[in-house]
Structure 1
Amino acid sequence: MASLNNCTVSSNSATYYDGGSSGGTLNNCIVYFNNAPSGANFGSTPTFNYCCTTPQPANGTGNFTSAPAFVNPAVGNFHLQFNSPCINSGVNTFAPGTVDFDGNPRIRGGTVDIGAYEFQSPTSTISYAWLQNYGLPADGSADFADADLDGMNNWQEWRAGTNPYDAASLLKLSTPSRSAGQVTLTWTSVANRSYFVQRATDLNTPTSFSVIQANIPGLPGTTSYTDATAPASGPVYYRVGVQ
């Protein structure tokens, strides 16, 4: 099956079914306003990751159904308007090359946009879809606010996949447990994030921390990791981050 990265599939029609996509994997793509006699924008088998499409796909993660807010699709202008939810809403690892379909820089604002065209002057560094979902402005004024006073600003809440209005929804490491030379860590987590664990034996300098495990898939609620190579004696410090 084929894979599509940072593509815009819109205003297509099919003779029978699956107007936009009938299979494969689509990452950072817009699949919208396609049609077929069955009424299907896409079929039941594609996998969508961080895409703008409707209805909500059964396969994949990070997708949303808000309309992409094209500049003028009626005349084939599928660039993004300044308030498009697709701005900053993709995943950089899926972004091919360094330029978009126009030849402009592919990533502006730190995070790749969804679709073939990159909006060149975003005012926020946060996913516009995430901001709109929580009723937050996309002009950058709320990026570093902390409405629920949990110690995580909105940019950090977005990166962690937590709720900016819920003080109990945050990335937090619980007290580690130590037994038989091993240390078990547990932290609050979500399912569509990956985490890394760092360890240090002193706090004299920030560089004293080093990564001991990366690409830990997040689980709903909490995720745990056991450090089997923890120092046998003396202090040891840990921190957990989102990749």
Structure 2
Amino acid sequence: MNHRLATTLCALVLAFAASGAVHAAKDDLDVSRLSRNLDQLANDPSLGAYAQAEQARARDAINRLVQARSRDRAHALYLAERQVDLARASAQFQVTQIKLTQLEREHDQIVLEGSQRDAEAARRELERQRMQYQLMQEEAARLQQQGQEASQAADQARNEADQARKLAAAQSKVANAAKREAELAAQAARALRSQVQGDSGSSSDDSTPPPKKKKTNKGG
């Protein structure tokens, strides 16, 4: 029986260890994937020199993902993915803006219809990427606000739970004191009742006259 119990416990320990290893491996895969994407952007000869601030924020988001607790991991992973996407979109936006500036400088010298179409297409692409960049910034700000609100709500819930426990403890003390007082009152009442009954019995015995002696007829 003991051998079977030991075997079962070993199997459970191995199962939990395997589950933890699977989660850790998945965590490592997410971090590796995001780091690889960000490294590719940084090493891209046409994009890597741009959006340095966004790349730094994406790197910080990946580091926060590495340090995130299990309950916060899904939110941290989402933020890290959005920050990496935002860094790439920002770099592409800046490159397109530079190209548009170059096209605008050459516009006066280039009258060919094809070049004009390229300039118009570049303007449209710039506007599209600008809108995308703005939406991603708004999404990142909204997610950050949600994270702060969730943290504040968790703190408030913990404070309310602590207050509830303190109130329950105080109520328990009051209830115990009231119970103790009730027991003392009941004991005092019983003692008083016993004393009254004892005094009543003594008074009844004292009021009973002694029996009269019968006269003896000596003369027979």
State the TM-score, normalizing by the size of structure 2.
0.22
- Greater RCO, 1 or 2 (C-alpha within 8 Å, sep 6+): 2
